[in-house]
Structure 1
Amino acid sequence: MAKKKMKASKKLNVGSEFGEWLLEEKIGAGGNGDVWKAAKPEQPSQAIKILRSVSNETYERFKIETSTLEKLGRMSGIIPLIEKYVPDDKSGSTPWFTMPVAIPFEKYIHGRQPFEIVDDFIELAKTLQQLHAQGISHRDIKPANFLHYEGRLCLSDFGLVKYPERTAITPPRRDVGAKFTMAPEMRRQAHSANGLPADVYSFAKSLWIALTGQELGFDGQYSPLSTLALSNYLVNTYTTTLDRLLEECTDTEPDRRPTMTGVIARLEEWLSICKDFHTQNLTEWTELTRKLFPLGAPTRSTWEGVDAICLVLAEIAKVPSLNHMFYPTGGGNTITAVSTAAESGMIALHIGEKMVELLKPAKLTFESFGNNTSWSYFRLEAAPLEPSGVKNALNSERSSEALTEISPGHYEAYACWEQNEYNGEPLPDSARPAARYLKGAFVFFSTRSAYNADPSTYDARHNKMSEEQFRAYIARNSQCD
């Protein structure tokens, strides 16, 4: 390796010569050193890190960094060291070392989709897993220290690295790491803190930054119930597995954080769920049950009253494509929202942007069958209701009416919707097609349930059975699954 003595006695600029190197572009700067894109005559450019502020501590860290990189060699996921000059004595010539030129994180992340980001972070986590297996902690995990090289994200800047045989050089009460990704113990007692769980903490906050596109991290522990929630940034994306992982990784107690091995498994689990709609749907249906019944799902639970029923149905409708509703008259659909209706005591089940199903709810019942939540369902009973009086609106079974709701509670014939006309004028923006149910029962299953997978269930069989008969029917089928 080259060991040419060089002295950075003056301020370096683009075009400056540093020994044999011509400085082409400044690509990084820290409190103690700078990184330049530089080249020797007729050779490819490299990244050269030059120690600018030389003190006993910075020089020892520089020596540790270069020796660590030499020890790691060509480990996958590490930006390798190519050449170095690190004299035994810090006085005199300026220490430096070179690395391959790589793509900085802020350029790499541009246009990357969440699945791609997590894929790349899994590879980064595998590198940390290898380091941790050797007792090596990076202790400066942050996006600025991630570089894209040879088709993957890699770790750089090992200036704060710590390993079992290394002599401690961090003074007591000195913090260590990046402020916006730093674990709390690295703020309080970096000299004695375990760097392995601290890396997990910083990795999780770095992942949050990458997925949300935010410049900085956040203070404290992650909470999916706060403005930090990934769901605020990853619209229509399943996030629960990631939410739980980030919450655990940023626990203030290091011993409660998962290992990097656990982090990898959870990230792979999230990708697997997201890439398979069947698995995702049933997972989300199970999580809906846990949300409604945090202490454990009962065999049966019943809600009465419009407000309570609306709240539960809103949870069912909240997750896109989660539910499938079976009508009392046959067929099925997906509800996308729930609201109170203009008529007293009635609710509107929204289908898509405009269509609503109107009914007066008598009760909503949840039915479950042990741990197999794919068979759990909700049954909504409609209370008896008098017809609206609109001419020719009733169906042949006299169980529902097809209407146009001109304005809240003002019904006219469905033909108004078909012809986009009322009293010779185009329909107002408030108009919408509506089905008004006078009796009957609806049931809601997960979209990927075995019940929904069977086309014959669209015959409204649930409405031809009593509540108890239908539960017994589902119980028999669930045992055959």
Structure 2
Amino acid sequence: MNRPKGASSFLAGQQFHGWVLEVPLGSGGNGVVWKAARVGETSVAIKILKSITDETYERFKVETSILESLGTTRGIIPLLQKFIPADKSGPAPWFAMPIAQPFAEYVQGKVWKEIVDDFIKLAGVIEDLHARKIAHRDIKPANFLFYDGQLCLSDFGLVKYPSRTNITPMKRDVGAKFTMAPEMRRNASEADGLPADVYSFAKSLWIALTGEQLGFDGQYNPGSTLALTNYLPEIYTTTIDRLLVECTETEPNLRPSITSVKLRLREWLEICEDFHTRNLTEWSELTHKLFPMGAPARACWTDIDSICAVLDEISKVKGLNHMFYPTGGGNTITSVSRAKESGLIALHVGEKTAEILKPAKLAYESFGRDTSWSYFRLEAAPIQPTGLSGSVGYHGISEELTEISPGHYESYACWQYDEFKGRKLPESARPVSRYLTGAFVFFSTRSIYNQIPDTYDARHNQMTEDDFRTYIEKNV
């Protein structure tokens, strides 16, 4: 195996205070950790102070002292034995702790839900420390160890608590560079370690979820390449995005407490695991995105670019919307684009399928704070049929066609038989429905309207815009 940096002053098989050093486990700035054993005893991890100065000696004494006071607190790697000489000129200080799994090994093969669940428990451990006014001040993945069935905190060398004498020199930064709070860079000796722990915890969670080796500078930005959605594209991230933004605020007093972080992580996990809650939450967030100052009872768009932009927002989140056709039935739109025909758009409902129409107006209808009843109604402007023989029509509302290439239509039979002019259809071919008139409505997938099978009868297309709103309002 690769020997950890700093382990060269000790050798495997060497006797050390009655222990036999077996394998180097790791090394920090001032200490080295070895797997060690005694006859008849379980192997332990023994941490030895190797760079002894007044400051490192005092920190080592503080670390062993706080570990003794915490005892067998769950979520803290416990102190088993220690040796602290009377002064730093004596033999090297050391203490022993159980062997645990390093974070880099723990995280391998873990799905994101497992990681979040374990970080919620870890937040609970930090919450207990903060309740005693104990700040760890060196929270980072390298200091997380998996032991006794959960992620635990280790390395309390920088810990700070009310009765502890300050040994951090003025203008000395404290913590890991990629998870360190800005105030710990500026003035660690005077900074409050509790909000600094929150900052470092948030950045550690980001590292764990993204698989990146290093963190990021500054505040989290969900609109940048740092966004979790770039790493977890199938997952609802708005709730965790907001939490990471708040936790990495530059001003410590604007960050939430670790208790709030724990509760909000649990809330995010519950939303992700419950599709019904997630879908209605995302629908509400879509409304807020479109109308940040508050949703009106009705809003309308008639410009084709604006209509495409709004429909594109509806289609962005997988499974968010359900579209009801003017001909009956429903589907989920996955994207929106301009069609080849001038003034027409294509609503994509699958990898190769699209609904083509000329939009006349898109309206948003809401009914107060409960956005689960809000919906969008898209009116199709009348257009002339293609006149192609063999095209399948539906009561003068639509015609089913094969689009050989953008804007080049042929009869639907071409798609049925995978043939055009005696040859196999080109890769660009797809089936399309071209709507000559009619209205579409879009509800959230988990709306009550979408859960009632009878609503698939295209009743909305049998009513005017105002009549359908009145019909929905009665149910609300």
One-letter amino acid of the structure 1 residue matched with residue 379 of structure 2: E
| 1:41 Cα offset (Å) | 2.0
Aligned to 1:4: none
Aligned to 2:460: 462
After superposition, the C-alpha distances for 1:239-285 in whole angstroms (9 at most, x for unaligned) are 11100000000000101100011001100001110111000000000
| 1:422 Cα offset (Å) | 0.5
Q: Is the 8 A contact 2:174 2:188 kept in 1?
A: yes
Residue 352 (str. 1) matches residue 355 (str. 2): no
Aligned to 2:3: none
Runs of 4+ in 1 over 6 A off after TM superposition: none
Residue 372 (str. 1) matches residue 370 (str. 2): yes
Q: Cα 1:99–1:353, aligned 2, differ >3 Å: closer, same or farther?
A: same
Residue 419 (str. 1) matches residue 417 (str. 2): yes
Aligned to 1:402: 400
SS of corresponding position for 1:302? strand
After superposition, the C-alpha distances for 1:75-129 in whole angstroms (9 at most, x for unaligned) are 0100000000012211121100000000000000001011100000000000000
Structure 1: distance between partners of 2:387 and 2:25: 76
**Counterpart selection for 2:60 from 59, 62, 66:** 62
Q: Is the 8 A contact 2:390 2:413 kept in 1?
A: no
Aligned to 1:3: none
Structure 1: distance between partners of 2:359 and 2:12: 74
SS of corresponding position for 1:264? helix
| 1:389 Cα offset (Å) | 1.3
Q: Is the 8 A contact 2:392 2:401 kept in 1?
A: no
TM-score under structure 2 normalisation?
Answer: 0.98
Aligned to 1:384: 382
Q: Cα 1:415–1:57, aligned 2, differ >3 Å: closer, same or farther?
A: same
After superposition, the C-alpha distances for 1:39-69 in whole angstroms (9 at most, x for unaligned) are 1123211000000000000000000000000
| 1:299 Cα offset (Å) | 1.2
One-letter amino acid of the structure 2 residue matched with residue 411 of structure 1: Y
Structure 2: distance between partners of 1:226 and 1:261: 28
Q: Is the 8 A contact 2:7 2:27 kept in 1?
A: no
| 1:294 Cα offset (Å) | 1.2
Q: How does 1:10-409 map to 2 (within 5 A)?
A: 11-409=9-407
After superposition, the C-alpha distances for 1:302-332 in whole angstroms (9 at most, x for unaligned) are 1112211111111111100000000001110
Structure 1: distance between partners of 2:105 and 2:404: 52
Q: 5+ unaligned residues in a row in structure 2: which ranges? A: 1-5
Q: Cα 1:382–1:10, aligned 2, differ >3 Å: closer, same or farther?
A: closer
Structure 2: distance between partners of 1:367 and 1:154: 50
One-letter amino acid of the structure 1 residue matched with residue 137 of structure 2: R
Q: Cα 1:10–1:229, aligned 2, differ >3 Å: closer, same or farther?
A: closer
Structure 2: distance between partners of 1:181 and 1:256: 17
| 1:11 Cα offset (Å) | 1.7
After superposition, the C-alpha distances for 1:5-31 in whole angstroms (9 at most, x for unaligned) are xxx999212222212111111111011
Q: Cα 1:354–1:206, aligned 2, differ >3 Å: closer, same or farther?
A: same
Structure 2: distance between partners of 1:432 and 1:20: 77
| 1:394 Cα offset (Å) | 4.7
| 1:300 Cα offset (Å) | 1.0
One-letter amino acid of the structure 2 residue matched with residue 294 of structure 1: P
SS of corresponding position for 1:395? strand
Structure 2: distance between partners of 1:32 and 1:165: 24
SS of corresponding position for 2:51? coil
Q: 5+ unaligned residues in a row in structure 1: which ranges? A: 1-7
One-letter amino acid of the structure 2 residue matched with residue 196 of structure 1: L
SS of corresponding position for 1:285? helix
TM-score under structure 1 normalisation?
Answer: 0.97
SS of corresponding position for 1:70? helix
Q: Is the 8 A contact 2:33 2:46 kept in 1?
A: yes
SS of corresponding position for 1:122? helix
One-letter amino acid of the structure 2 residue matched with residue 47 of structure 1: A
| 1:475 Cα offset (Å) | 1.1
Q: Is the 8 A contact 2:327 2:394 kept in 1?
A: no
